[in-house]
Structures are given as structure tokens and as C-alpha cells.
């Protein structure tokens, strides 16, 4: 091995160790409410090691294999994996369930993203550009965290990207809410556990300069379909890397809050969880990773109550609500679904859903707020009023329960949307 090759390998090793240290820094805190048997099962499934209470693994950048011919890549995939069936179709991708030929007991997800005019999926939807696909793949290959769904390896041909991803059997977090008692949200104990894991993932992303931009119930996957499961953030199709933006330092809260590196025309994300600063208007200065913290607040609010925080019949009305009205907690009496939720939880939501990103805590700062650091509490949801009893009072705000819709479209530009995979 040449001296230059040796130096390159050493730099690669040190970079991987740096990612590993950042990824595992808060693992103990993030997973502290996850039962031991669930954690042990997750470790066995992913061949992880447990040192005390901290999960660690050998962090390796997923291998990127390129080939000129689509047939060559498909033949290579067929040699390594067996396709078991289709899991879903998005606007520019198809997802399959696969298993390694050498170990048929394991299960992975294969996301196939067609390039250029070959993009498939639902007709009329928004399609990723090749540059956006390259950015998604680049980000997926660079993130390593216990609360982020992992990328195993990537195959690229002239026609498509083939991403081998973690296959999480617990389904989406939204599906768990649909099966919760009375469909009234999770207990405060379990909501706090999910919130902690989500914010740990976002703190890591802000540290390395990644804005997810589509944090929502559909993009949070569970290892098992139970409220005390390990929860993982997925789908980086709208993510942006802002680490190279002028002055950005993920270790400095002021730098994270003031980042305005993302300037778009139209909406990117999902209306139900979209931050006010993302609803751009002509002359707006852009936004940064702080939009994810606000979106996390919308998700956590829904976990606690079973209702989306805002509701509107049109995009214009939604924009007026989100941009023009501060979130008010404790909720007024016309929101009986909040009965039994602590004032500490409501205060937490009010802080992380602050309209101005400069006044909004970063994900790392949110992890230090009192509610997330409480222990104990009931694991059962307090008995509330039924669906028929929670209808709005005359003149009160309209409320949409999460069980009235199974999916929320991800907007990629004003007036268009795409299903996420």
C-alpha cells in the first residue's frame, strides 16, 4: 500500500470515528425509556454491541457502487438480494422488500429512484431532479444515528439509484396513533419518549448541518408496533445540507438559529407540520434547520392530543393560521383532548413552536427543557371525552383528529405535492 493511500485510509477512518462519536453522544438519553428487552432485540437485529446503557456500532459509510449499464446493476442486485414484494410507490420512487441471498432471515427495503424522464410513481406528482437525488443519496450515506433509519448500501446506474435501507417492521408512528385507545393520542410518558428520540435525531442533524424539512408522523418509523418502541426518522428526499453555508457552526446555537441558507420558491414539506418561515413570500430571507424543531413540535402536539395543531380547508387558510397565529398553551376549554396533559408539556410545546426561529430553541437546547427530563409518569392515556364529545364549540376553532386522514402530502413547490417514501 502506498503512503498516499495509507494517509487517505487514515483520514477516512478518523472521519468515521468522528461521525460515530457524534451519533452516539446522546444515545443513552434518547433511548432511556425504551424497555431493555426491546433494546436488546434491536441490538441483535442490527448486530450492535451494548456497552453499559449505550448502544454502539461500527459506523461505516454505505458503499456506493456505480455501473454504466442498468442491466449490470440489476444483475448485481439479483445476485445479492431476493425481491419479496412491493412496499409502496411514491412520486419518483418505488420501494420493495428484499432479503440478502446469504441470509434470507434478514429484511431490508430497496428504494429505486429513476433518474430524469424515467421517473415513475404517481402521474401528475412532483419528481425529484437528478441533483436532488444525488443530494439525498449523499446525505443518507453521511448520517449515522440510533434514531435515524440507516442506509446499508447504494447502487447507481445511468438510469436509477437503488438504495438498500433499514426495514423497520413497526410501521409508521401515525399507524400506532390509529390503534391507540379511543384514538386520543399516546400517554404523556410514551409521547415524551418519542419526542426525546426525535429531538436527539434532529440535534445530530443540526450538528452536522442537515435540514430534514419533512418531519411528520409518516416519516417516523417504529422498530415494533408498540408505544415504547425505538423510533427512527426516515425519508431524506427533501433534506438540504447547509453545513457549508457561510458562518454555519452546528455546535453554536446562535449560528443554527440564524442560518438562512435555504431559499426556495414555494413550499417544501408538509402543511400539517410546516414551520412559519418555510411558507416563503417574496422578499423573505430564507430559513435553516430550525424549521425541523417547529415541525417536531407539531408531531409531539399530535402525539399528546390525537389532533393536528392546525386545520384549514385550503393552503391560503393554512398559511394564514400558521404564519399569523402564535401557538397558545394551555389550550382553551374548547380543546378537551388536552385534559390530563401536564402544564410542563404544554409549556414545552409553546417554546419549541415559537414563531421566530431566533427565539425558538435548537434541538439540543430543547433536550434540556424540563418536560423532556422528567422521569416516571403514567403509561396509560387519561380517559378523555369521545370523538362525538370533542366537536368544536360554536365559534371555536375547528380541529381535525389524526384518524380522519391516513396520509399527508409533502409539498415540494407551491401548488404541487408528492407522496413520501
Q: Which DSSP string do the residues of 202-247 spell out, in sequence order?
A: HHHHHHHTEE----SGGGEEESSSSTTS-EEE---TT-EE-TTSTT
Q: What CATH homologous superfamily does 63-166 map to? A: Phosphorylase Kinase; domain 1 (3.30.200.20)
So what's the pLDDT on residue 340?
A: 81
Name the 3-class secondary structure at 201.
helix
* Sign of the Cα pseudo-torsion (292, 296, 299, 301, in order): negative
Count of alpha carbons within 13 angstroms of residue 134, beta-carbon side:
8
Q: What angle do CA 410, 189, 200 make, to 5 degrees?
A: 50
- The cell for 328 is 397558545
Q: What CATH homologous superfamily does 173-418 map to? A: Transferase(Phosphotransferase) domain 1 (1.10.510.10)
Torsion of CA 295, 300, 306, 310, to 10 degrees: -30
Domain limits, the chain = 24-54, 63-166, 173-418
pLDDT in tens, 103-149: 999 999 999 988 874 444 333 344 567 788 888 999 998 898 999 99
Count of alpha carbons within 13 angstroms of residue 202, beta-carbon side:
33
Neighbouring CB atoms inside 10 A of 286's CB total 15
Closest C-alpha among 243, 20, 267, 38 to residue 146: 20
So what's the pLDDT on residue 208?
A: 94
Per-block mean pLDDT, blocks of 10 residues, the chain (421 long): 61 57 52 57 48 37 59 82 89 88 92 69 51 88 91 86 91 86 79 95 95 94 91 92 92 95 78 84 77 95 85 63 57 63 91 92 96 77 44 41 45 42 43
Closest C-alpha among 230, 237, 86 to residue 148: 230
- The cell for 350 is 409553546
Q: What angle do CA 33, 34, 39 make, to 5 degrees?
A: 145
Long-range contacts of 140-143 (CB under 8 A, 24+ apart): 140/62, 140/165, 140/236, 141/61, 141/62, 141/64, 142/19, 142/61, 142/208, 143/204, 143/205, 143/208, 143/210, 143/236
So what's the pLDDT on residue 321?
A: 64
DSSP letters for 333-372: TT-GGGTT--HHHHHHHHHHT-SSTTTSPPHHHHTTSGGG
Name the 3-class secondary structure at 378.
coil
Count of alpha carbons within 13 angstroms of residue 186, beta-carbon side:
26
Report the first-to-last Cα separation within the chain, whole angstroms. 42
Amino acid at each position: 500500500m502506498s503512503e498516499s493511500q495509507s494517509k487517505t485510509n487514515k483520514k477516512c477512518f478518523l472521519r468515521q470515528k468522528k461521525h460515530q462519536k457524534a451519533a452516539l453522544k446522546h444515545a443513552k438519553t434518547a433511548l432511556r425509556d425504551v424497555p431493555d428487552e426491546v433494546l436488546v432485540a434491536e441490538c441483535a437485529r442490527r448486530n450492535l454491541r451494548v456497552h453499559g446503557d449505550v448502544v454502539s456500532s461500527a459506523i461505516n459509510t454505505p458503499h456506493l457502487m456505480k455501473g454504466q449499464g442498468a442491466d449490470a446493476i440489476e444483475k448485481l442486485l439479483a445476485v445479492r438480494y431476493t425481491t419479496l414484494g412491493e412496499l409502496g410507490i411514491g412520486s419518483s420512487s418505488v420501494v420493495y422488500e428484499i432479503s440478502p441471498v446469504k441470509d434470507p432471515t434478514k429484511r431490508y427495503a430497496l428504494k429505486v429512484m429513476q433518474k430524469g424522464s424515467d421517473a415513475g410513481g404517481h402521474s401528475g406528482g412532483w419528481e425529484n431532479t437528478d441533483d436532488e437525488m444525488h443530494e439525498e443519496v449523499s446525505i443518507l450515506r453521511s448520517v449515522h444515528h440510533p434514531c435515524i433509519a440507516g442506509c446499508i448500501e447504494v447502487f447507481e446506474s445511468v438510469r436509477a439509484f437503488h438504495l438498500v435501507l433499514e426495514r423497520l417492521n413497526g410501521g409508521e408512528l401515525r399507524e400506532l396513533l390509529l390503534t391507540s385507545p379511543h384514538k386520543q393520542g399516546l400517554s404523556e410518558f410514551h409521547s415524551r419518549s418519542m419526542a426525546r428520540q426525535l429531538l436527539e435525531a434532529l440535534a445530530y442533524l443540526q450538528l452536522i448541518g442537515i435540514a430534514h424539512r419533512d418531519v411528520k408522523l409518516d416519516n417516523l418509523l417504529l422498530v415494533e408496533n408498540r408505544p415504547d418502541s425505538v423510533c427512527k426518522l426516515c425519508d431524506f428526499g427533501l433534506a438540504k445540507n447547509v453545513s457549508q453555508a457561510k458562518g454555519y457552526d452546528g455546535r453554536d446555537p446562535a449560528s443554527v438559529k440564524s442560518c438562512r441558507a435555504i431559499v426556495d420558491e414555494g413550499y417544501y414539506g408538509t402543511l400539517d407540520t410546516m414551520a412559519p418561515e418555510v411558507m416563503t413570500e417574496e422578499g423573505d430571507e430564507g430559513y435553516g434547520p430550525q424549521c425541523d424543531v417547529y415541525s417536531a413540535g407539531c408531531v409531539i402536539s399530535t402525539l399528546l392530543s390525537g389532533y393536528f395543531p392546525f386545520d384549514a380547508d385550503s393552503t391560503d387558510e393554512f398559511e394564514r393560521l400558521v404564519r399569523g397565529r402564535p401557538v397558545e398553551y394551555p389550550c382553551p376549554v374548547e380543546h378537551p383532548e388536552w385534559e390530563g396533559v401536564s402544564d410542563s408539556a404544554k409549556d414545552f410545546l409553546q417554546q419549541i413552536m415559537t414563531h421566530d426561529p431566533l427565539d425558538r430553541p435548537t434541538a439540543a437546547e430543547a433536550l434540556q427543557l424540563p418536560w423532556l427530563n422528567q422521569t416516571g409518569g403514567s403509561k396509560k392515556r387519561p380517559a378523555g371525552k369521545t370523538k362525538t364529545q370533542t366537536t368544536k364549540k360554536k365559534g371555536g376553532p375547528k380541529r381535525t383528529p389524526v384518524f380522519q386522514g391516513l396520509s399527508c402530502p409533502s409539498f415540494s413547490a407551491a401548488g404541487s405535492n408528492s407522496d413520501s417514501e
